[in-house]
Amino acid sequence: MKIFKFGGASVKDAESVKNVASIIKNEGANDTLVVISAMGKMTNAFEEIVDAYYNKEENLPSKLNYIEEFHTNIMDSLFDKEDEIYKDVAILFGELGWFLARNTSQRFNYVYDQIICFGELLSTRIVSAYLEKSGTENIWFDVRNYIKTDSNYRDAKVDWELTEELITKKVDTSKINITQGFIAANDTENTTTLGREGSDYTAGIFAYCLNAESVSIWKDVDGVLNADPRVFSETTLLEQISYEEAIEMAFYGASVIHPKTLQPLERKEIPLLVRSFINPKTIGTRVSKGTRLVPYIPCFIVKKDQILVSISALDFSFMVENNISYIFQKLHDYQLKVNVIQNSAISFSVCIDNKFNKFDAFYNELKKEFRIDVQTGVDLYTIRHFDNQAIKDIEAKGSPLLTQVNKETSQIVVNPN
C-alpha cells in the first residue's frame, strides 16, 4: 500500500482540489491511503477561533462566518447545490457550534484540540466528495477512530500497540482511503493533536502499521533542495538522502522532514518521497536507508534573527562545569533553544533562538552572576558537507562572529549589518 500526504497549500482552493484529485487518479491506485491537512491557512483561522472563544472576544461570530464562507466558496466551485457534501459540512459546523455552546473546560490545550480538528475534518470531507463526483471511488474515515494517544493535548504521544491493532484491523487496503492528518483521540474519545509536523507524522504512522510500500509527501517545491530558495538565488534538487542525513538537516533547522516522521519509516525501511503537486512528473527526492547524498554538494540551512551571547565570570575565573551547568538550567527554564555552543577558558558562547520572547528575563537573572555580552539580530548559517568555497560564500554575507567546524558540518554566526 502507498501513503500520500497533501498539506494545506495543495488544497487551498477549488483548482487545487481538482489538481489533488488528478494526482490521486493518475499516481495512486486502489491500495492508496491519502492523508490531508486543513485547507490553505485554515489552521491559522481555527487558531483565531480558539483564541476568540477562550478569551470571550466579541468577534467570534465573524471569525466563524469567515471559515464557513471560505469552505462554501470552494464547494460552490466543485459541486451542485443539491449534492450531499453541503449537508455533511453543515453537520460539522453544527458539531463545532455544539462544542462552543456546551464546553465548560478552562484548559486551553484541551479546547484547542477540540476546535482545531475541524479544519482537517472539513478538508477531507470536501476532497473525498469531489473524488467521488469525478469518478474516483474512495473510503473517507475519521482518523480519531484509528490513531489513539495519551491525553497530552497539543503534543499527544501515540499508543502504538492499540493504534497498530486498529489500523491493521480496520483499513481496507484494497481501496483508496481518505483521512485526516495531525489529529487523533485518547481513550475517552476526546480529540488530541500530534504536535509539530503532525500531518507528516500521521502518514508515517499509517505507513508503519500497514507496512507500506512508500510514503509520498506532496509539496509546492520539486523536492528537498540544498538551500532555501527564499534566501539563496541558486539551489539544487537533492535526488537522494539517507534517513540519517534528513534527521541531521532537520536538527539544524532545515524544513525537510521532522525526525518523528522519519523514525517509524526508518524502523521498517520504508522510503519517503518528497514530490511536487505543481509538477508531479518531476522525480522529487527519495529519503531511504543508507543512500548517500545525491548530488553530493554543500547544503545550507539558515536561521535568521538569532541572539549571540557570550558569558564570562565576573572575577575572570574559568568557566567550568558548575557554571556551565547553571547556565544550561537557566536556558532550559526560559525556553531558549541553543543552536551553537562554543567554550573557552574564561568565556562560554551560545547562539540562541528567542522563540518565546523570554531572553530579557534570562539576561536579567544571569547578569547578577556573570558578565554578559549580547549581539541581537545575527544570522546562523549551517553548512552540511561544506567546502572552502561554501564557507567563503557565507562569510561574504556579513561580519563573521563565531565559526565552528567539525567533520561534516560548519556553523557560522554572521552579523548581516
Count of domains observed in the chain: 2
380 part of a folded domain:
yes
Q: What is the 3-state secondary structure (H, E, C) of the chain?
A: CEEEEECHHHHCCHHHHHHHHHHHHHHCCCCEEEEECCCCCHHHHHHHHHHHHHCCCCCHHHHHHHHHHHHHHHHHCCCCCCCCHHHHHHHHHHHHHHHHHHCCCCCHHHHHHHHHCHHHHHHHHHHHHHHHHCCCCCEECCHHHCCEECCCCCCCCECHHHHHHHHHHHCCCCCCEEEECCEEECCCCCEEECCCCHHHHHHHHHHHHHCCCEEEEEECCCCCECCCCCCCCCCCECCEEEHHHHHHHHHCCCCCCCHHHHHHHHHCCCCEEEEECCCCCCCCEEEECCCCCECCCCEEEEEEEEEEEEEEECCCCCCCHHHHHHHHHHHHHCCCEEEEEEECCCCEEEEEECCCCCHHHHHHHHCCCEEEEEEEEEEEEEEECCCHHHHHHHHCCCEEEEEEECCCEEEEEEECC
Asked whether residue 199 falls in the same domain as residue 338, the answer is no
pLDDT number for residue 180: 98
Q: What is the rounded CA–CA span in Å between residue 48 and residue 192?
A: 18
Asked whether residue 106 falls in the same domain as residue 205, the answer is yes
289 part of a folded domain:
no
Q: Write down how long the chain is.
A: 417
Asked whether residue 40 falls in the same domain as residue 137, the answer is yes
232 part of a folded domain:
no
Asked whether residue 204 falls in the same domain as residue 308, the answer is no
**Any residues with CB less than 8 A from the CB of 98 and at least 6 apart, and which?**
none
Q: What is the pLDDT of residues 183-205, one digit of tens each?
A: 999 999 999 999 878 999 999 99
Could you identify the residue written with the cell 518565546? 356
Domain that holds residue 365: 299-415
Give how far Cα 225 sits from Cα of 215, 275, 316, 415, Å: 18, 11, 45, 25
291 part of a folded domain:
no
Q: What is the rounded CA–CA span in Å between residue 394 and residue 382?
A: 9
Q: What is the pLDDT of residues 79-114, one digit of tens each?
A: 999 999 999 999 999 999 999 999 999 999 999 999
Asked whether residue 10 falls in the same domain as residue 133, the answer is yes
pLDDT for 28 beyond 80? no
Rg (CA), the chain: 24
pLDDT number for residue 266: 94
Percentage of the chain lying above the pLDDT 70 cut: 100
End position of a domain, from candidates 219, 254, 282: 219
Alpha-carbon dihedral 122, 128, 129, 131, rounded to 10 degrees = 140
pLDDT for 291 beyond 80? no
What's the CATH code of the domain at 313? 3.30.2130.10
Query: Can you tell me the mean pLDDT for 159-185?
Result: 97
Give how far Cα 142 sits from Cα of 18, 57, 184, 394, Å: 22, 31, 9, 47
Burial of 309 (0-12, 13-18, 19+ CB in 10 A): buried
**Any residues with CB less than 8 A from the CB of 66 and at least 6 apart, and which?**
45
Q: What is the pLDDT of residues 383-417, one digit of tens each?
A: 999 999 999 999 999 999 999 999 899 999 999 97
Asked whether residue 316 falls in the same domain as residue 184, the answer is no
End position of a domain, from candidates 219, 236, 256: 219
Q: How far is CA 408 from the centre of its chain?
A: 25
188 part of a folded domain:
yes
Asked whether residue 12 falls in the same domain as residue 159, the answer is yes
Phi first, then psi, for residue 100 (nearest 5°) are: -60, -35
User: What pLDDT band is residue 30 in, cutting at 50, 70 and 90?
Assistant: confident
Asked whether residue 39 falls in the same domain as residue 182, the answer is yes
323 part of a folded domain:
yes
pLDDT for 317 beyond 90? no
Q: What is the pLDDT of residues 109-143, one digit of tens each?
A: 999 999 999 999 999 999 999 999 999 999 999 99
pLDDT number for residue 259: 85
Asked whether residue 175 falls in the same domain as residue 318, the answer is no
258 part of a folded domain:
no
What's the CATH code of the domain at 43? 3.40.1160.10
User: What pLDDT band is residue 167 in, cutting at 50, 70 and 90?
Assistant: very high
End position of a domain, from candidates 219, 253, 272: 219
Cβ–Cβ contacts within 10 Å for residue 318, how many? 11
pLDDT number for residue 347: 87
Asked whether residue 171 falls in the same domain as residue 41, the answer is yes
pLDDT number for residue 320: 79
Query: Can you tell me the mean pLDDT for 209-223?
Result: 95
Q: What is the rounded CA–CA span in Å between residue 5 and residue 218?
A: 6
Q: What is the pLDDT of residues 249-283, one digit of tens each?
A: 888 888 778 889 999 999 999 999 999 999 999 98
Q: What is the pLDDT of residues 364-381, one digit of tens each?
A: 999 988 999 999 999 999
141 part of a folded domain:
yes
Q: What is the rounded CA–CA span in Å between residue 417 and residue 405?
A: 23
Q: What is the rounded CA–CA span in Å between residue 389 and residue 249?
A: 20
Output the average pLDDT for the chain.
94
